[in-house]
Amino acid sequence: MHIPPYHKKQTWQYFFLGAVLGGIIAYFIVIYMYGSMYEDLLAENIDFQSKITDLENHNEALLKDKADLDEKAKEPLTVETIEVSIPNWEEVLPDRLIRRQLEELIKEEISHVVGQAVTLIDESEELLSATIENKAFTIDDFTYYFEIKKLTISPTLKIIVDAKLSN
């Protein structure tokens, strides 16, 4: 069997030349498409790596904050300030100056609770109430007694008292 000599005919030579040039052009097109696709994938990969690094740093910072808050939460809450209010001062007290003086006297009377743990103050709530209710506060020859209406124990100790003028 003999293979016909196609290389001698001009039309076949053009066909083979077109096939070879088409193959070379197709190869370069494939290389270009692969390169651009690979470049896009590398850019996307770099973006993802950047986001992962940012998220890891953010996660590490949040974990550190959580650890700090856990350590801080293990410390007992302490009483930091005392607030005293007298809602019926207009009925009993002659002026605001005396009201302020009485509020300061009450704060001085229980000032020892500042800096103590809230749980300790909560356990001795009756003692704190008795300290205020059983004490007579004297200003300008008038003696005042107080009845605790509301006692809120938190880092800010809030006391609402009703004033009573002694006879």
For residue 86, which of 11, 164, 161 has the smallest C-alpha distance?
161
Taking all residues of the chain, what is their mean pLDDT, rounded to a whole number? 89
Place of tokens 């008795």: 130
Question: What gap in Å lies between CA 154 and CA 28, rounded to an integer?
Answer: 77
Q: What pLDDT shows up at residue 19? A: 93
> Is residue 1's pLDDT more than 80?
no
CA atoms of 12 and 145, how far apart (whole Å) = 122
Does residue 31 carry a pLDDT above 70?
A: yes
Give the up-direction half-sphere exposure of residue 99: CA atoms within 13 A in the CB hemisphere.
17
pLDDT exceeds 90 at position 59: yes
- Residue 93 burial (CB count, 10 A): 20
Q: What is the pTM of this model?
A: 0.59
With contact defined as beta carbons under 8 Å apart, do 76 and 151 qualify? no
Give yes or no for residue 49 having a pLDDT over 80: yes
Domain locations in the chain? 8-74, 81-165
- Which phi and psi angles does 116 have, rounded to 5°? -90, 160
Query: Residue 22's pLDDT is what?
Result: 96
Residue scoring higher pLDDT (45 or 140): 45
Read off the tokens for 31: 């290389």
Q: For the segment 121-138, what is each residue's pLDDT rounded down to a tens digit?
A: 989 999 999 999 999 989
How much is the average pLDDT of 38-57? Answer: 93
Q: What pLDDT, on the 0 to 100 scale, is given for residue 141?
A: 86
DSSP annotation of 86 reads -
